[in-house]
C-alpha cells in the first residue's frame, strides 16, 4: 500500500563549471541544512560538472568518487538521492541519472534523447530502457532534460506511474518551452511532474534561470522558482492523483502502443 504523502526536495543550484570537488562540497552543506521531511532529494542534470561535452576528462566509473558520495549522503541523511552525472562504462560515456537508496541499492537510467544541437550525441551513448523507480509505494519515471521534448517516451501506460521527474540544464533562452512542456506532460499523463533545473552560467557562457517546477495531474502549478539558487521541499498527495484519475479516467482512452 502506498503512503499517502511523498516528500521531494528540489535543489536548484548554481553549478561550478567542471569542478566536481567544489560542487559536491556545496551540495553536502545544502543537504545537511534541509530540515523538512524528505523521501527523495533531487539534484539537476550533470550536477557535479555542469553540461559538459568533455567526458574524456570528467567521466567516472560506477565505483568512482561521485557515486560513492551519493551513497554516503543517502545513508547519512536517510533519503533517496537522485540526479545525473557523467559515467564511463565499457569504454562508452553516458549521461546517467542515478536513484541511490540508503540501503545501497542503485537504479540507473541513461538519457535517451541526446541534445544534438550541442553535439551531445557525438560524445555520449543513448539509453534505451526507462527506469520506473519506487519509494513508499509511489512510482516515479526518471527522465533527463531533452527527453522532455519527446512525449511518447514519457507516456503513461496501463500500469501508470505517479510522478514524472526531469533533471535538467535547460537554458534561459528556452525557458518558456521548459515550463510549458513540463505542464503539458502533467496534463497528458495525469501525474505529478517535477522538473529540477540549475541557475547561473556555465563555461560556455549559457545562462540558466532555473524555473524548477512542480505541477499537479491537471496541470495546476504547485510550485515554481526562477532566477536564484533555491532548496524547496514539496509534499505530494496520493489521494489527489487517485481521485483525479477516478473522476477523469482519460488514461483509459489512450492509444495502445509498444516502444521498440
Instruction: Using CA atoms of 228, 99, 169, 199 in order, give the dihedral in degrees to the nearest 10.
Output: 10
Q: Is 191 tagged catalytic?
A: no
From 98, 22, 25, 28, select the one nearest 67 (Cα to Cα). 98
What is the Cα–Cα distance from 77 to 121, expressed in whole angstroms?
35
Q: How far apart are CA 214 and CA 203, in angstroms?
A: 28
User: What are the distances in angstroms from CA 45 to CA 95, 195, 260?
Assistant: 8, 10, 26
**Cell numbers at residue 111, please?**
538519457
Q: Per the residue annotation, which of 38, 111, 179, 238 is the catalytic one?
A: 111
Q: Which of 45, 79, 191, 238 is catalytic?
A: 45
The three three-digit cell numbers of residue 173, written as one number: 533562452
Active-site pick, 38, 145, 179, 191:
145
- Establish whether 79 is a catalytic residue: no
**Has 145 been annotated as catalytic?**
yes
Query: What is the SS3 assignment for 213?
Result: strand
Place of cell 473522476: 247
Query: Which residues are registered as beta bridge partners of 162?
Result: none
Q: Which residues are catalytic?
A: 45, 111, 145
Amino acid at each position: 500500500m502506498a503512503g499517502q504523502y511523498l516528500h521531494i526536495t528540489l535543489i536548484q543550484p548554481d553549478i561550478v563549471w567542471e569542478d566536481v570537488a567544489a560542487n559536491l562540497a556545496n551540495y553536502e552543506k545544502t543537504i545537511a541544512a534541509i530540515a523538512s521531511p524528505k523521501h527523495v532529494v533531487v539534484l539537476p542534470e550533470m550536477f557535479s560538472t555542469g553540461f559538459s561535452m568533455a567526458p574524456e576528462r570528467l567521466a567516472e566509473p560506477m565505483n568512482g568518487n561521485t557515486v560513492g558520495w551519493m551513497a554516503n549522503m543517502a545513508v547519512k541523511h536517510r533519503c533517496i538521492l537522485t540526479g545525473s552525472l557523467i559515467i564511463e562504462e565499457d569504454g562508452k560515456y553516458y549521461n546517467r541519472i542515478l536513484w541511490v537508496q540508503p540501503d545501497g541499492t542503485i537504479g540507473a537510467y541513461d538519457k535517451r534523447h541526446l541534445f544534438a544541437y550541442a553535439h551531445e550525441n557525438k560524445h555520449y551513448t543513448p539509453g534505451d530502457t526507462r527506469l520506473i523507480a519506487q519509494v513508499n509505494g509511489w512510482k516515479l519515471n526518471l527522465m533527463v532534460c531533452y527527453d522532455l521534448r519527446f512525449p511518447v517516451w514519457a507516456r503513461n501506460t496501463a500500469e501508470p506511474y505517479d510522478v514524472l521527474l526531469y533533471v535538467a540544464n535547460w537554458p534561459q533562452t528556452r525557458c518558456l518551452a521548459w515550463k510549458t512542456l513540463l505542464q503539458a506532460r502533467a496534463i497528458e499523463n495525469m501525474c505529478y511532474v517535477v522538473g529540477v533545473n540549475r541557475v547561473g552560467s556555465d563555461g560556455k557562457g549559457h545562462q540558466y534561470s532555473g524555473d524548477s517546477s512542480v505541477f499537479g495531474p491537471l496541470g495546476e502549478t504547485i510550485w515554481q522558482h526562477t532566477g536564484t539558487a533555491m532548496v524547496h521541499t514539496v509534499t505530494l498527495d496520493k489521494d489527489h492523483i487517485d481521485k483525479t484519475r477516478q473522476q477523469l479516467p482519460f488514461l483509459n482512452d489512450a492509444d495502445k502502443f509498444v516502444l521498440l
